[in-house]
Amino acid sequence: MEVKSITEQKSLLDTLAPGKRTRLRRLLFEFGPGHGTLMLLPIDQGIEHGPRDFFPNPASKDPDYQFRLAAEAGYSAIACQIGLATKYYPDYAGSVPLILKVNAKTDLPPAPRALSTLNASVEDAVRLGADAVGYTLYVGSPRQDEDLLQLKSVREDCDRYGMPLVIWAYPRGEAVESKGGQNSFYAIDYAARMAMEMGADVVKLNMPKIDPDKDKDSPAPYNEGGFSQADAIAHCVESAGRSLVVLSGGSRIDDDKLLDQTRFVMEAGGSGVIYGRNVWQREWNDAVEVVEQIKEIMLSSVTRVP
Amino acid sequence: MEVKSITEQKSLLDTLAPGKRTRLRRLLFEFGPGHGTLMLLPIDQGIEHGPRDFFPNPASKDPDYQFRLAAEAGYSAIACQIGLATKYYPDYAGSVPLILKVNAKTDLPPAPRALSTLNASVEDAVRLGADAVGYTLYVGSPRQDEDLLQLKSVREDCDRYGMPLVIWAYPRGEAVESKGGQNSFYAIDYAARMAMEMGADVVKLNMPKIDPDKDKDSPAPYNEGGFSQADAIAHCVESAGRSLVVLSGGSRIDDDKLLDQTRFVMEAGGSGVIYGRNVWQREWNDAVEVVEQIKEIMLSSVTRVP
Amino acid sequence: MEVKSITEQKSLLDTLAPGKRTRLRRLLFEFGPGHGTLMLLPIDQGIEHGPRDFFPNPASKDPDYQFRLAAEAGYSAIACQIGLATKYYPDYAGSVPLILKVNAKTDLPPAPRALSTLNASVEDAVRLGADAVGYTLYVGSPRQDEDLLQLKSVREDCDRYGMPLVIWAYPRGEAVESKGGQNSFYAIDYAARMAMEMGADVVKLNMPKIDPDKDKDSPAPYNEGGFSQADAIAHCVESAGRSLVVLSGGSRIDDDKLLDQTRFVMEAGGSGVIYGRNVWQREWNDAVEVVEQIKEIMLSSVTRVP
Amino acid sequence: MEVKSITEQKSLLDTLAPGKRTRLRRLLFEFGPGHGTLMLLPIDQGIEHGPRDFFPNPASKDPDYQFRLAAEAGYSAIACQIGLATKYYPDYAGSVPLILKVNAKTDLPPAPRALSTLNASVEDAVRLGADAVGYTLYVGSPRQDEDLLQLKSVREDCDRYGMPLVIWAYPRGEAVESKGGQNSFYAIDYAARMAMEMGADVVKLNMPKIDPDKDKDSPAPYNEGGFSQADAIAHCVESAGRSLVVLSGGSRIDDDKLLDQTRFVMEAGGSGVIYGRNVWQREWNDAVEVVEQIKEIMLSSVTRVP
Amino acid sequence: MEVKSITEQKSLLDTLAPGKRTRLRRLLFEFGPGHGTLMLLPIDQGIEHGPRDFFPNPASKDPDYQFRLAAEAGYSAIACQIGLATKYYPDYAGSVPLILKVNAKTDLPPAPRALSTLNASVEDAVRLGADAVGYTLYVGSPRQDEDLLQLKSVREDCDRYGMPLVIWAYPRGEAVESKGGQNSFYAIDYAARMAMEMGADVVKLNMPKIDPDKDKDSPAPYNEGGFSQADAIAHCVESAGRSLVVLSGGSRIDDDKLLDQTRFVMEAGGSGVIYGRNVWQREWNDAVEVVEQIKEIMLSSVTRVP
């Protein structure tokens, strides 16, 4: 039986203009596990959290570590900010696709009014040979209005240059907290739809958590209970429509859990995963090994789609 | 007797530049019920409310459902945001006209300072083959000043490209609440005039509600009573002057009521309706059937204009 | 004796660039009462106050009423926003000059931080064949800084296109209230000078009110008393220097009072009046009649200037 | 002995690009007292304070008064806003150089967050034949950040067009008040340096006041006492480096004091004075006479520089 | 043994585009101590603190003092704002490289919401013959979002013109204070990484201070103790990755301490130092002498890298 990917089923590529199709094909079929899947390596934690994330594995402080891992362990792409793309990607240009993240913030100022302003442009991505652009959208933030306006300019440039757009869709803000929280099924489901409607080609979601205590503050029908985590993931993937979905891992978790949730998202129709600390907070050999396991699960799950 | 539409009576088309005239004609005469009427299908609730609106009819979660309905049930146009227009409209290009909504917001951050920022441009609409652009204006919001400035840029681009401009005119904000509320005759009447003066070719209004308890806080003469709902609708339609008026349905209501208010707005000189949840929160056959009923009432009402 | 107008005495036209001179001449000499006077008809109340202003004379709700009145009763110009200019002015193009107002606000959000943002451009005015542009400046508003910056862009475009600039100069804000109020001699006098210094060709002022109780809060010498209303008007007109002054009427007042203040402003060296509700809140014949009376008083007063 | 000016000693002209040199030479050598001095006439009080400043000498209300005075009494230049420059300067074009002030504010909104936004451009100055541009910078204002950004655009245009830049450097804001006040030696000294570092060719300073009671709140060494007013002026002039310094007079003061401080600033190495109300709040002959006295003192003081 | 610099080891130059490489080479090899080191002289204290910094050495008030020192004592470059660059650098053009700082603020308004807005552009730097551009980034400030957006425009222009970018990376704001303070190891380490990720070619850091009392408020592992100051410096230099690091001196300190910390930073892999007041708050001969000592230590430390 031939492997047939979610991506083909979703027919996303069919609707894409040639530039986007060319570039996204590289991530889906030419690099990484292939067969229409996405295994992405993020190295933006140095900004989002600071260098503290590198202490568990001191080798990881040198950005070359993540670039080498992405290239040698066979990732679909590496995602980073302009500074790393400029000073470290040249050594790996062509060896692994680049997703240039164009906005960021530190975790120093408090988050209730979260907005990640631009620090790079789609033109930078084109110039650097990137195959996609990453944008972090804080759905529900009091500054969502500014966020959407900023995203518009990025989305338009992506259309202009045929650059695939990956949206990191994160629920944030007081209103989100009062309706179940940023990891609730309600909030993640909303974020998935929002990203799709705003023009994402790929949506990056955090794992939705079912928590009856908090979910009762969500609007109906989310507050009515009866949803399993598998349901929640499936709904979120469906809410993203023809946009591809990758699930993130967050801070380091147990390996079994990591692999389980990888299977979950693939079975739910997602396109893959984006794990950072769970991978590069390990010594080289250990990291390479877990990547192999992830890849296997991804491919074995994807085959189940007829 | 020949059917003569409100639109012709209003002579709106006479004042329009060729691009606007060409495109608006398609909605009024070539698609939908025709005879100068407008029957519009909105699918922006996934952003404005989140995916919760899709649970009553799970099939509606797939945006293809609304696009197919718009095309097969014979709508004048479908109205949606850039993401759906990009990924779902291509399958129906030419089968049903597109109204690209260019601004939006979620209902997560609280509404007292409502402003919908742009997420798409009139140029996007031109590129996608849309026949009109939709803009949501929050009349009376404390951020109305920003809203008007933003609308200016959209209106100017509509003039530049000959693109008809549909304004969703919604009263909002504390000041509105203190003068009768966002559904009061006073507020909707003001919004209708405002949209027309700001350059709308079509104005989308919510149904004004007569509520003596709240209306007494409105300025004279709205606080003096004696207005029926039919009066209110007629006044609002008149306040929109040569701009066409379509009435919205809001959350799902009783079918009889829905059809009654359809008749109301046509008799008052409105050009049509824009019903979303009242239509697509139904199974396919049920949806198609109610659309037929709406269409019949529209056409039977419009004929009464000599 | 030949009629010699204030305008010629002021030699304003001498300092104007050809485009401004050509257009302003039309208003001063070719339309309206002529002889260098200005009789302007404003129809911006539908935005600034809402449709409630139209109830006293239901015919006035149709903007065609004011356009027809301006053309048939022989006005120097009609002043309105972009929506009316686009949809109603075409029928009267060439029959009466157009002043396109380029900013506006509703009276829904409270006024202490008043700012009227742009909804149209000087280029719109050029495109529509307008002979002047109108701008509302809130002198003393806490947002005066934004207002001046915005006015700069309009004034520059007026210079670029040779378009006369009419400034509606209104004192506003807490600081103004604490120094005698928005109708005080002090505040209106300041507004007149401000508008002239900011580049107005014509300044629209409200009638200054002498009110000893409130004037005592104004700075010296305004708080010292001894000024008649005639003094106040004369001072305000003088403060506007070579900018022409037109006086407004506000809400409807007694006819005798209306004609008296018309004489006042002409005798003080003003160039004319801009009355809206005082004219179009009347039935057609009554409106045409009062316009004739106003015109006569204007011309009889202007002759007294040698 | 040949008169040798401060300006030459400072060698400012040597560092200037041709356009700036050509224009500034006119003010320093071809008009006014000459010999590298600056005697400037400001007429911006109608905006900054309102028409109340004109009551002491009613003739001064007509801007022609100040323009005629500048031309006939032999000023180095007249400084005013766009409105006066457009409507009154044409009569004196070529008779006296023009400094176009490009930002302003009224004194109506309270000052703690002072910012003067732009109302004209350097291109306006070029078009009007001005020989310099004036900009008011509020050093220490909480909105200093916006001020500097705005000044950047003016300074860049000055560089682009070879237009000399005169900075009115005024300390303002709560922080300034808490450290000795806006007229303290500390604050004026800081403002002088700031203006120079931001690219001023000429700096306009208010007279620093030595006030031990308030100076003790200034940082060291300003709080240590032992500075005479002559010391303070000398320091401020030195802090402005190669930027020329002119001292202002403020509200009307005693003639002897006025002439004394004129001598002070020249002896301290300043380039001249900018007196407004102290001059034009006088009848014509009186005004002309005091101008002659000022001129004499300026020239007699400047000769002392070898 | 040949001197081999940190810079070569870091291979920064290899990744740079030709314009950046050409210019940065001048600072690293052709001027100053050479061998890939950076000895920079900052003269921005007149803005950042005001003229009070010049009283300890009155000669330093004349900017020519610092320019002459930079040229004659053999600095790698002098860093200053636009005003000094325009009026004082011409005399030393070609004698010492120029780093044009493009943003600044006074220390008058309080710092908790620190943001240095632009007062010059990269194009100014190109026009003036500068070899690098300096930008002050306040990491962690509540206005960090605006800062990053502004930095983006500077970084892009640096890429466009091949201009090296030096980032003054300063932790600031309430959040920073609550997590150990602006001089904590945690905060400086974060700032170093941030600057590198935002595209700095050179990062200017303040000396991190180990202070167990305050460090306990930092996140793990910074709050766990056990770090010497040498560790801290080494970590910060490493966090800057391939961006070069220069350490600043702050207010005047003891000479031995100054030389010790110079050695520290070189041994930790830094590229050099940027000392202002510690140098130019001395009489000429004394200043020249300490510069020689600094230079010697720099070169003797750098040789230890094989």
Tally Cβ neighbours within 10 Å of residue C106. 22
Per the rule left: phi > 0, alpha: psi between -120 and 50, beta: everything else, E304 is alpha
Model pLDDT, residue D305: 41
- What pLDDT was estimated at residue A290? 97
10 Å Cβ neighbour count for C20? Answer: 22
CA E174 to chain centre: 23
Instruction: Give me the residue label for tokens 């007109």.
Output: C237
**Where residue A6 falls among pLDDT bands split at 50, 70, 90?**
low
Q: Which helix (H) or strand (E) holds B78?
A: strand B77-80
Rounded to the nearest angstrom, the minimum Cα separation between B60 and chain C is 37
- Judged by a CB distance cut-off of 8 A, whether residue D57 touches chain C is no
Amino acid making up residue B260: D
Question: What b/e sequence results for D175-193 when a residue is b if at least 16 CB atoms lie within 10 Å of its CB, and e otherwise?
Answer: bbbebbbbbbbbbbbbbbb
Q: Under a CB-based contact definition with an 8 Å cutoff, are residues D175 and E110 in contact?
A: yes
Closest of A63, A132, A120 to residue E159, by C-alpha: A120
Contact B32, B74 (CB under 8 A): yes
* CB < 8 Å from D in window 95-154 of E: 104-106, 108-110, 115-121, 124, 127
A contact test, residue of B64, B78, B87 with most A CBs within 10 A: B87
Least CB–CB distance from C117: residue in B149, B219, B221: B149
Average pLDDT taken over every residue of chain D: 93
pLDDT band, very low/low/confident/very high, at D195 (cuts 50, 70, 90) = very high
Give the closest-approach CA distance of D30 to chain E in angstroms. 23
Q: Do C241 and D119 touch (CB under 8 A)?
A: no
Q: Name the stretches of chain B with pLDDT < 50.
A: 1-4, 303-306
DSSP string, D68-109: HHHHHTT-SEEEE-HHHHHHTGGGGTTTS-EEEE-EE--SSS
**Among partner residues C52, C106, C117, which is closest to B139 by beta-carbon distance?**
C106
How far apart CA D176 and CA C82 sit, in angstroms, is: 46
Interface check for E196 against chain A (CB to CB < 8 A): the answer is yes
Nearest to E117 among D149, D175, D219 (CB): D149
Q: pLDDT at residue E62 above 50?
A: yes
Q: pLDDT for A152-174, tens place per residue?
A: 999 999 999 999 999 999 999 99
| Euclidean distance between CA atoms A227 and A27, whole angstroms | 33
Question: Which DSSP symbol is given to C279?
Answer: H
**Residue B116 C-alpha from the chain's centroid:** 16
Largest CA distance in chain A: 53
Assess contact for D76 and D28: CB atoms under 8 A. yes
Verify whether the Cβ–Cβ distance B88 to A189 is below 8 Å: no
DSSP A197-239: HTT-SEEEEPPPB--HHHHTTSPTTGGG----HHHHHHHHHHH
Task: Check CB contact under 8 Å for E86 and D199.
Answer: yes
pTM (two decimals): 0.94
Nearest by CB to C106, from B15, B194, B196: name it: B194
Give the distance from CA C157 to its chain's centroid: 20
DSSP state of C134: E
Which candidate from C46, C62, C108 shows the least CB-CB separation from B139? C108
Q: Six-digit token pair at C225?
A: 């008393």
Please answer yes or no on whether A87 and E151 come within 8 Å at the CB atom: no
Can you read off the two tokens belonging to residue A117?
């302003």
Measured between CB atoms, which of E156, E194, E239 is closest to A61?
Answer: E239
Cα separation, C35 vs C298, whole angstroms: 10
- CA dist B144 and A57 (Å) reads 52
Distance CA B177, CA B190 (A): 14
Neighbours of chain C (3+ CB pairs under 8 A): B, D
- Chains linked to B by 3 or more Cβ pairs within 8 Å: A, C
Q: Is A252 a residue whose pLDDT tops 90? A: no
Q: Find out whether C131 and C99 touch, Cβ atoms under 8 Å.
A: yes
C259 alpha carbon, distance to own chain's centre? 17
The pLDDT mean for chain E works out to: 93
Could you tell me how many CB contacts below 8 A there are between chain D and chain E? Answer: 105
Query: Is residue D236 classed as helix, strand or coil in its secondary structure?
Result: helix
Catalytic site residue from E170, E186, E190, E222: E170
DSSP conformational letter for E148 = H
pLDDT per residue as tens digits for the range D60-86: 999 999 999 999 999 999 999 999 999
Chain D residues in contact with E125 by the CB 8 A cut-off are: none
pLDDT for position B8: 55
Measured between beta carbons, the chain A residues lying within 8 angstroms of E221 are 52, 55
The residue of chain C nearest to residue D122, with distances taken between CA atoms, is C156
What local confidence, expressed as pLDDT, does residue A302 receive?
A: 75
Amino acid identity at E127: R
Tally A–B CB contacts below 8 A: 107
Best residue of A106, A128, A146, A154 to probe chain E, by most E CBs closer than 10 Å: A106
**Residues of chain D neighbouring E120 (CB-CB closer than 8 A):** 152
Task: Kindly provide the b/e burial profile for residues E195-211, where b requires at least 16 CB atoms within 10 angstroms of the residue's own CB.
Answer: bbbbbbbbbbbbbbbbe
Q: What is the Cα–Cα distance from E284 to E65, expressed in whole angstroms?
A: 9
More confident residue, D5 or D31: D31
Q: Which residue has the higher pLDDT, A3 or E247?
A: E247
Q: What is the pLDDT of residue B3?
A: 42
Question: Smallest Cα–Cα separation from D163: which of D137, D131, D136?
Answer: D131
Q: Looking at residue A7, what is its pLDDT?
A: 60
What percentage of chain E reaches a pLDDT higher than 90?
86
Which of D1-5, D265-269, D285-289, E140-144 is least confident?
D1-5
Q: Does A199 touch chain B (CB under 8 A)?
A: yes
Beta strands in chain E (DSSP E): 38-42, 77-80, 98-101, 103-104, 117-118, 132-139, 165-171, 202-205, 244-248, 272-274
- What residues in E contact A62, CB-CB < 8 Å? 238, 241
Q: Determine the pLDDT at residue A306.
A: 36
Catalytic residue (choose from C179, C204, C214, C295): C204
Question: Taking a C-beta distance cutoff of 8 angstroms, is the pair E104, E136 a contact?
Answer: yes
> CA triplet C173, C178, C181: central angle to 5 degrees?
70
Tell me how far CA of residue C174 lies from CA of A292, C111, C179, D174, D248, in angstroms: 69, 10, 9, 20, 31
* The predicted structure's pLDDT at residue B137: 98
Quick one: pLDDT at residue B109?
A: 87
Note if the bond before B221 is cis, omega within 30 degrees: yes
Q: How far is C103 from chain B (nearest CA, A)?
A: 9
Is E243–A62 a contact, with Cβ atoms under 8 angstroms apart?
A: no
**Cβ-defined contact of B47 to A222 (cutoff 8 Å):** no
Closest residue by Cα to residue C104 from C146, C49, C152, C173: C49
E10, E20, E204, E214: the active-site residue: E204
CA closest to C89 among chain B residues? B15
Neighbour-count burial for D197-235, b at 16+ CB within 10 Å, e otherwise? bbbbbbbbbbbbbbeeebbeebeeebbeeebeeeebbbb
For residue E8, what pLDDT is reported?
Answer: 55
DSSP codes, C172-192: -SHHHHTTT-TTBHHHHHHHH
Q: Are B136 and B151 contacting, i.e. CB atoms less than 8 angstroms apart?
A: no
Extract the residue ranges of chain C whose pLDDT is less than 70: 1-12, 303-306
Two tokens, residue C173? 């804000």
Q: Is position B204 annotated as part of the catalytic site? A: yes
Nearest to A52 by CA among E145, E245, E224: E224
pLDDT of residue B250: 77
**Residue A21 buriedness (CB in 10 A; 0-12 / 13-18 / 19+):** middle
DSSP state of B264: H
* E61 is known as an active-site residue: no
Looking at the DSSP bridge assignments, the partners of residue A196 are none
In this structure, the strands spanning E38-42 and C98-101 are unpaired
C122's CB contacts (< 8 A; 6+ apart) are C102, C133, C154, C157, C158, C160, C161, C163
Q: What is the pLDDT of residue D301?
A: 83
- When pLDDT is cut at 50, 70 and 90, the band that residue D5 belongs to is low
Q: Evaluate whether C118 touches C146 at the Cβ level (below 8 Å).
A: no
Q: Are strands C38-42 and B244-248 parallel, antiparallel or unpaired?
A: unpaired
Contact C221 D110 (CB under 8 A): no
Which residues of chain B neighbour C118 with C-beta distances below 8 Å? 148-149, 152
The answer to whether the CB of A54 falls within 8 A of the CB of A61 is yes
pLDDT in tens, E17-60: 999 999 999 999 999 999 999 999 999 999 999 999 999 999 99
Query: How many angstroms separate the CA of residue D75 from the nearest CA in chain C?
Result: 22
CB D251 within 8 A of CB D286: no
Beta-carbon count within 10 A of A224 CB: 11
Q: Between chains, do D243 and E118 touch, taking CB under 8 Å as contact?
A: no
- pLDDT above 50: residue A250: yes
Does an interface of 3+ CB pairs under 8 Å exist between B and E?
Answer: no
Q: From the CA of E27, how many Å to the nearest CA of chain D?
A: 24
pLDDT band with cut points at 50, 70 and 90 for residue A3: very low
Give the pLDDT of residue E66: 98
Residues from chain E that touch D225, judged by Cβ atoms under 8 A, are none
